[in-house]
Structure 1
Amino acid sequence: MQATHTPRIKICCIASVEEAWAAIRAGASALGLVSSMPSGPGVISESLIAEIAAAVPPPIATFLLTCGQDVEHIIAQQRRCRTNTVQICDRLTSGSYADLRGAMPGVSLVQVIHVTGEESLEEACSVAPHVDALLLDSGNQSLAVKELGGTGRVHDWSISRRIREQVRVPVFLAGGLRPENVGEAIRQVGPFGLDLCSSVRTGGNLDEEKLARFVAQVRA
């Protein structure tokens, strides 16, 4: 898919209605709400995810980040949380994307691909026809305690660019994005969107000055 001129911004690890509105004011078009994960930052309760999702106006996307690999589990989780998008952070092992679409009409599906090497390109191309977008991150599903996001690490952007060039759905880029490297990330990968968490936080809380600096670099 062709690169967009100015990437959309998704702020992940939103922890309150106040943080959601701060991100929206800064220019975010999507918010990440993290449910239970084996590791990583930003986990909040499903009741809080539902509260935040209900307070966010259209057309802002609310992403439920799930580590679920079973379709029935993911469907039940989305029905409790009421987000308009589901970000699947691991590989499906039971059920199909078609099952998710049938049970959740109108809910967008975003599959995370953890870019670890050449094999990630093949995985991305096989999954892309079944989802609305891909999110390329720097986790590792093969560890004893899986990393499914929030690592703060940069992966091989050359592979991410090849994925973006070969799939026909929008691609979000995640993993270690900061004001200092986001310009190079945009030039190298040409993503539809950027996903960030730790680089715009201080003491775990969303830092509006850091966020403004990041957004300024993206728009520059």
Structure 2
Amino acid sequence: MRTVEAARQIAQLEPDAIGLNFYAPSSRCVDEETAAAIVNELPECVEPIGLFVNHALEEVLQTAHRLNLRTVQLHGDESPEFVAEVQRAGLEVLRAFRVGEEGLGGVAATLARYAELGIELRACLVDARVKGAYGGTGKTAPWELLANGWQPDWPPLVLAGGLTPANVCDAIQAVHPWGVDTASGVEAESGQQDEILMQQFVDVSRRCSI
């Protein structure tokens, strides 16, 4: 979400949350001043979530504090110790994992380390693994692998990766995630949300989740 106008449009649809991307190399990056204006446009039922990729700890904490964010999405190579510090600061963490056909062994090992450190994630967001990218590629995650391999004692699963109004129902029926996430799937061009696609995505997601 990069503009106040897009925030007004999505607020009318009342999704559970919207993302504020602070990763500078991304075409979806938003500056903090605009992010603050977006937060002010959102009704209480729509939660703003700050997305960070390998930012310094103080930057994550200070940005979240200034914008009054409750949850941050860590989408980079942040260590378990980094995640623990974020949680100790009172923030909830949505941890992103990039998964390919290599399987869920890396996820399992990381979650085991989190348990040792007392980390309780709000959820795990699983995106497609694409070399050199931190998400937003439009590639789909391995649905069958997630459907068969996600363990019941793991944090709730938010499915991301190439989801569009055309395939999100199939994804929900195949994986049964706790939530779904989209970026490129509701854009007319990179970084520019399309009002019709956003409406379709929300409508289809809700209908297929019943």
TM range (shorter): 0.7 to 0.9
The answer to whether the aligner puts 1:30 opposite 2:14 as a matched pair is no
Aligned position for 1:17:
4
The answer to whether the aligner puts 1:153 opposite 2:139 as a matched pair is yes
* Pairing partner for 1:130 from 116, 120, 128: 120
Q: Deviations over 1:94-141 (max 9, x none)?
A: 8443321222x2x3210001112223442463347531111111244x
Q: How does 1:106-185 map to 2 (within 5 A)?
A: 107-116=91-100, 117-118=102-103, 119-123=105-109, 125-126=111-112, 127=114, 130-140=120-130, 143=131, 146-162=132-148, 164-185=150-171
Inter-CA distance 81–148: structure 2 relative to 1 (3 Å threshold): farther
Aligned position for 1:7:
none
Residues 164, 189 of structure 1: 8 Å contact kept: no
Which deviates the most, 28-37 or 166-175? 166-175
Residues 11, 43 of structure 2: 8 Å contact kept: no
- Separation of aligned partners in 1, 2:93 and 2:86: 8
The answer to whether the aligner puts 1:101 opposite 2:87 as a matched pair is yes
Deviation at 1:151, TM superposition (A): 0.6
1:166 alignment partner, SS class: coil
Counterpart of 1:114, as a letter, is R
- Separation of aligned partners in 2, 1:51 and 1:139: 32
How many residues align? The count is 200
The answer to whether the aligner puts 1:201 opposite 2:191 as a matched pair is no
2:181 alignment partner, SS class: strand
Q: Which runs of 4+ in 1 moved over 4 A?
A: none
Question: Which has the bigger relative contact order, CA under 8 A and spacing at least 6?
Answer: 1
Q: CA RMSD in A?
A: 2.4
2:151 alignment partner, SS class: helix
Deviation at 1:82, TM superposition (A): 3.0
Counterpart of 2:137, as a letter, is T
User: Please, what TM-score do these two structures have when normalized by structure 2?
Assistant: 0.82
Deviation at 1:207, TM superposition (A): 1.6
> Among the aligned pairs, what percent are the same residue?
26
Flag structure 2 segments of 5+ consecutive residues without an equivalent.
none
The answer to whether the aligner puts 1:92 opposite 2:92 as a matched pair is no
Inter-CA distance 184–173: structure 2 relative to 1 (3 Å threshold): same
